[in-house]
Amino acid sequence: MKNQYLEEAKRELINGHAKKGHPFRYFVLATNENGKPRQRTVVLRKTLLDLSLVIYTDKRTQKIKDIQNNSEFSALFYDSKKLLQIRIEGKAELITDKEQIADYWHTVQQASKKDYTTSIAPGSPIKNPDEVSYQSDENYFCPVKLVPNTIEYLRLNRPNHLRVLFSRIDADWSGEFLVP
């Protein structure tokens, strides 16, 4: 019975990157910056068969520094129409294989590629937004793989809410119901 909720979570995560306008397309990613949580909204680019998630970022961002110092992450997805929340915790991995990076780079829309080519790092102070300049010969594109250790499913429903915590044990998932 619990597995149906894991399958539903998996379907929703796949739809998050596959279906335009799906509420899981944008989600909140939290990392650890010097012992303090740091959150930001990111775009779900891919859900892999093992339920790992892929996002893209500029390799000069704070989130990359956070991951290099402490790879633990928390991700939060919410669908307000279905009243479904998925919370995922695990370890983030920077994708460094040049062939994989090239494969992901080819999926980035041409207009969006410039987002990874700013002359100075994202988050750097500037006097005027019109001063942002771009490089044509170099990019700072960095795909990141978020490998889940736990997936928590919460469906708000009447008469009873439903909450299930799934934990990864090797390649398998084990679930237990929780009090919502």
Q: How far apart are CA 96 and CA 33, in angstroms?
A: 22
Query: What's the confidence (pLDDT) of residue 152?
Result: 98
For residue 172 the two structure tokens come to 């398998």
Domain 3-122+135-178 fold is Pnp Oxidase; Chain A (2.30.110)
Q: How far apart are CA 94 and CA 71, in angstroms?
A: 9
Domain parsing of the chain, residue ranges = 3-122+135-178
pTM for the full predicted model: 0.95
Q: What is the mean pLDDT of residues 34-55?
A: 96
Residue type, 179: V
Query: What's the confidence (pLDDT) of residue 136?
Result: 84
Residue type, 79: D
Q: What is the mean pLDDT of residues 134-140?
A: 90
Half-sphere exposure of 179 (CA within 13 A, CB side): 0
Lowest mean pLDDT among 73-82, 103-112, 126-135, 136-145: 126-135
For residue 77 the two structure tokens come to 């997805």
Q: What is the mean pLDDT of residues 156-161?
A: 92
